[in-house]
C-alpha cells in the first residue's frame, strides 16, 4: 500500500488508466447515446488519457511530482477529444491544482482534489446535466469526503471510497436521464470516469497495475434500445479548437457560444483553452474564438453522420491500394480491404478515407507505391481525427504490401502488429520490369523507346532488349545480396510464358531459392519482383 502519491505512482496511474480505457473503449462506445449517439465516447476518453500519459512519459523518470501533474494536465488539455474527453481533461486539471501541494499526497489531499475537480468541471460546462460524468464525479468526491472523516488520512481508503461511490452513482444515471432510460444504458462518459478511479484505487493499494479490462455495465436487455440516430432538430456540427486567449475574456466567450449552440464545454486556464460546442453555424463558432484570441487545431465533425460512425466495423482491418484485378484478389484473399487504382492514376483521398472508416477502429494502410504515400498519410490523419487508430506502413511496391500482410496478426497488440508488418515490408527488396515509352537519361544510361527497363528499388539498373533477359539479370543482382524467396507477379502486358522462363532460370542458377508466381494484371509493369 502506498504512503502517498508521488511522481512515479502518478505516471503508473496515467499509463494504466489509458491502457484500461483502450481495452474498455468498445463497451463504452456502445453505451454512448448522450449528448449525441455517435458511439465514440470510449474512443475519445482513451485518446484523451493516452495524450496525458504520453506527455508524462516524455518527461523521463527524473521529474518531480509537481511537474508530473502539470504535464499530465497540459497533455490532457491538448489531446482532449469529444465532450467527455474535454470534461475529463478539466477533472485532471482540478486534481493537478491541488495534489502537487500535498507532500506526501495522502487521503486528505485526494479528498480536497476531487471536490475541487468537481467544482471546476461543473464551472466549465455551459449547461450541467445530472446523470452524466459530472454527477458521478460529484458522488465520488462526496464518498471520498465521508471516508476521510471515518478513516483519517488513509490514501487507499479514500481512493477506494471514491471509486465505489462513483460506481453507485453510475448505476443511478439510467434513471436520471430519459435518453439513458429509453436505451437501457448508463452514461458512457461516467463509465469512463469509473475506469480512471478504479485504476487509481489499484495504484493506491501499491499493486502493479497492468493493462486490464475494467468492468463496464452492458446495456440492459429489458428496455427498448434507442434507434441510434441524432435528433434531426439538434445542432448539426461539433466544433472543437484550442484557443490562446487571456483568461479574462473567456466568460464573454462562454456567454456568446452558449447562445450559438449546445453541449458547451470550455476548459483550461493560464492563457490556453480547449473549446467544445455543438452548433449549426460553424463559422460563427470559430469567429467567436478569433475575437477572443487565436484558435488553432480546429476540428469540425458533422453530427448527423453519427449513425454511420455508430455502426462502424469494430476490430482491426487492413486497407491496401492495388492496381489490377489479380493483385486486388491477392490482397483480398489475404484479408485486406482493397482500394483499386486506375491505370496511371491514384485513388482519391475520399476513397481511401471511406475504406479506412469501413475497415475498423484500428486500421493499417498499405499504399504499395511511392505515388500513394503522401495521399495515404493525409487519409490516415483525417481518420485519426475520427478516432480511428490508423498507421501507414511505408510499402513502396505491391510485393512489400503482400509481405507485410503475410505476417499480419489481428490478435497481437496494434503496435506489435505494425512493427512486424513494417519489418517484413522493409526486408523485401523489390524490382520491376517496364518498357520505355520515350528516349530518356536513366541511372543505367540512355534508353530508347521500346527498350526494356529493369528497376531495382525504383532506380533503372538494366536496359535490355527483351523481358526475360532483363528480368533474369535484375533478379540475379537482387539475389547477390542474399535472399530465400522470389515472388513474381505478372502484369497485363507480360509476354506469354515470361514467368515460367524466369522460374526455369532460377531453378538452374539458384536451386536453393524458392519461387512463387501470381497473376496480378497490373498496368505499366509486365513483371513485379520481390526478394525476401
DSSP class of residue 127? S
| Burial state string for 160-190 with b = 16 or more CB within 10 A and e = fewer than 16 | bbbbbbbbebbebbbebbeebeebbbbbbbb
Q: What is the pLDDT of residue 306?
A: 43
| CATH number of 287's domain | 3.30.70
Q: Based on the structure, what is the number of domains in the chain?
A: 4
Instruction: Decide if 297 contacts 224 (C-beta within 8 A).
Output: no
Residues 462 and 485 in one domain: yes
| Cis peptide, bond prior to residue 482, ω within 30 of zero | no
φ, ψ (nearest 5 deg) of residue 222: -95, 5
Residues 259 and 398 in one domain: no
Would residue 2 count as lying in a domain?
no
Instruction: Decide if 34 contacts 193 (C-beta within 8 A).
Output: no
Single residue among 308, 339, 360 that ends a domain in this structure = 308
Would residue 221 count as lying in a domain?
no
Q: What is the pLDDT of residue 310?
A: 43
Residues 23 and 140 in one domain: yes
Would residue 215 count as lying in a domain?
no
Residues 57 and 178 in one domain: yes
Cα within 13 Å of Cα(349), Cβ side: 9
Would residue 231 count as lying in a domain?
no
Scanning the structure block, which residue is given the C-alpha cell 493525409?
Answer: 378
Residues 54 and 164 in one domain: yes
Would residue 348 count as lying in a domain?
yes
Would residue 481 count as lying in a domain?
yes
CA-based nearest residue to 342, from 517, 203, 522: 522
Q: What is the pLDDT of residue 226?
A: 37
Q: Which domain holds residue 461?
A: 429-531
| DSSP codes of every residue in 61-109 | TT--HHHHHHHHHHHHHHH--HHHHHHHHHHHHHHHHHGGGSSSB-HHH
Which 3-state string (H, E, C) describes 184-228?
A: CCCCHHHHHHHHHHHHHHHHHCCCCCCCCCCCCCCCCCCCCCCCC
Torsion sign over Cα 365, 367, 373, 375: negative
The angle that helices 82-98 and 41-57 make with each other, rounded to 10 degrees, is 40
pLDDT, averaged per 10 consecutive residues of the chain (532 residues), comes to: 75 87 79 61 84 85 84 90 86 88 75 89 83 88 77 78 90 78 79 90 74 53 38 71 91 91 86 90 90 87 54 77 84 88 69 86 88 80 82 91 92 89 92 90 89 91 92 93 90 89 93 90 87 90
DSSP class of residue 233? T
Q: What is the pLDDT of residue 65?
A: 84
| DSSP codes of every residue in 356-377 | HHHH-SEEEEE--SGGGHHHHH
| DSSP codes of every residue in 453-492 | EEEETTEEEEEESSHHHHHHHHHHHHHTT--SEEEEEE-T
Strands 527-531 and 429-435: antiparallel
Residues 94 and 123 in one domain: yes
At 75, list the grid cell.
Answer: 497533455
Residues 156 and 193 in one domain: yes
Single residue among 394, 426, 458 that ends a domain in this structure = 426
Q: What is the pLDDT of residue 209?
A: 59
Scanning the structure block, which residue is given the C-alpha cell 507480360?
Answer: 494
Residue 518 three-state SS: strand
The angle that helices 107-124 and 155-176 make with each other, rounded to 10 degrees, is 30
Burial (CB count within 10 angstroms: exposed 0-12, middle 13-18, buried 19+), residue 438: exposed
d(CA 105, CA 153): 9
| CATH number of 449's domain | 3.30.1180.10
Residues 453 and 464 in one domain: yes
d(CA 527, CA 518): 10
Residues 129 and 251 in one domain: no
| CATH number of 72's domain | 1.25.40.340
d(CA 401, CA 398): 5
Residues 512 and 447 in one domain: yes
Would residue 230 count as lying in a domain?
no
| CATH number of 415's domain | 3.40.50.510
Residues 421 and 435 in one domain: no
Single residue among 249, 279, 308 that ends a domain in this structure = 308
Residues 438 and 507 in one domain: yes
Contacts of 174 (CB under 8 A, 6+ apart): 131, 180, 181, 184, 185, 186, 220
CA-based nearest residue to 414, from 363, 368, 367: 363
Would residue 222 count as lying in a domain?
no
Scanning the structure block, which residue is given the C-alpha cell 490562446?
Answer: 244
Amino acid at each position: 500500500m502506498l504512503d502517498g502519491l508521488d511522481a512515479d505512482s502518478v505516471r503508473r496511474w496515467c499509463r494504466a488508466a489509458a491502457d484500461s480505457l483502450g481495452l474498455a473503449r468498445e463497451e463504452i462506445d456502445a453505451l454512448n447515446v448522450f449528448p449525441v449517439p455517435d458511439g465514440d465516447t470510449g474512443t475519445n476518453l482513451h485518446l484523451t488519457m493516452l495524450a496525458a500519459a504520453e506527455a508524462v512519459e516524455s518527461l523521463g523518470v527524473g521529474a518531480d511530482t509537481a511537474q508530473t501533474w502539470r504535464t499530465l494536465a497540459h497533455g490532457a488539455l491538448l489531446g482532449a477529444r469529444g465532450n467527455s474527453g474535454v470534461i475529463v481533461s478539466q477533472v485532471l486539471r482540478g486534481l493537478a491544482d491541488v495534489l502537487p501541494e500535498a507532500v506526501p499526497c495522502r487521503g486528505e489531499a485526494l479528498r480536497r482534489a476531487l471536490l475541487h475537480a468537481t467544482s471546476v468541471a461543473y464551472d466549465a460546462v455551459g449547461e450541467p446535466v445530472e446523470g452524466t460524468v459530472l454527477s458521478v464525479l460529484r458522488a465520488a468526491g462526496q464518498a471520498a469526503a465521508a471516508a476521510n472523516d471515518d478513516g483519517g488520512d488513509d490514501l487507499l481508503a479514500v481512493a477506494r471510497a471514491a471509486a465505489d461511490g462513483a460506481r453507485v452513482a453510475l448505476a443511478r444515471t439510467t434513471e436520471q436521464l430519459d435518453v439513458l432510460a429509453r436505451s437501457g444504458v448508463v452514461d458512457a462518459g461516467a463509465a469512463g470516469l469509473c475506469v480512471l478511479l478504479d485504476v487509481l484505487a489499484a495504484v493506491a493499494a501499491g499493486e502493479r497495475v497492468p493493462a486490464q479490462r475494467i468492468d463496464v455495465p452492458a446495456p440492459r436487455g429489458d428496455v427498448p434500445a434507442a434507434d441510434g440516430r441524432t435528433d434531426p432538430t439538434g445542432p448539426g456540427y461539433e466544433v472543437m479548437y484550442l484557443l490562446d486567449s487571456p483568461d479574462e475574456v473567456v466568460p464573454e466567450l462562454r456567454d456568446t457560444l452558449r447562445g450559438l449552440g449546445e453541449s458547451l464545454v470550455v476548459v483550461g486556464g493560464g492563457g490556453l483553452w480547449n473549446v467544445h460546442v455543438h452548433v449549426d453555424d460553424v463559422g460563427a463558432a470559430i469567429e467567436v474564438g478569433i475575437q477572443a484570441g487565436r484558435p488553432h487545431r480546429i476540428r469540425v465533425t458533422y453530427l448527423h453522420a453519427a449513425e454511420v460512425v455508430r455502426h462502424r466495423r469494430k476490430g482491426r482491418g487492413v486497407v491496401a491500394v492495388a492496381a489490377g484485378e489479380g493483385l486486388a484478389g491477392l490482397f483480398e484473399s489475404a484479408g485486406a480491404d482493397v482500394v483499386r487504382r486506375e491505370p496511371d492514376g491514384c485513388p482519391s483521398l475520399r476513397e481511401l478515407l471511406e475504406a479506412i472508416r469501413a475497415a475498423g477502429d484500428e486500421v493499417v494502410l498499405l499504399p504499395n507505391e511511392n505515388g500513394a504515400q503522401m495521399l495515404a498519410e493525409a487519409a490516415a490523419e483525417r481518420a485519426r481525427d475520427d478516432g480511428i487508430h490508423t498507421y501507414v506502413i511505408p510499402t513502396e511496391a505491391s510485393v512489400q504490401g503482400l509481405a507485410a500482410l503475410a505476417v499480419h496478426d489481428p490478435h497481437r497488440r496494434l503496435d506489435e502488429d505494425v512493427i512486424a508488418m513494417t519489418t517484413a515490408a522493409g526486408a523485401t527488396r523489390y524490382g520491376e520490369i517496364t518498357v520505355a515509352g520515350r528516349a530518356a537519361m536513366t541511372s543505367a544510361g540512355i534508353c530508347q523507346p521500346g527498350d526494356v527497363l529493369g528497376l531495382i528499388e525504383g532506380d533503372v539498373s538494366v536496359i535490355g532488349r527483351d523481358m526475360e533477359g532483363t528480368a533474369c539479370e535484375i533478379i540475379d543482382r537482387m539475389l547477390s545480396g542474399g535472399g530465400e524467396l522470389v515472388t513474381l507477379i505478372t502484369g497485363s502486358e507480360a509476354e506469354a510464358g515470361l514467368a515460367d522462363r524466369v522460374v526455369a532460370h532460377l531453378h538452374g542458377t539458384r536451386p536453393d531459392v524458392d519461387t512463387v508466381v501470381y497473376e496480378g494484371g497490373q498496368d505499366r509493369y509486365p513483371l513485379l519482383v520481390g526478394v525476401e
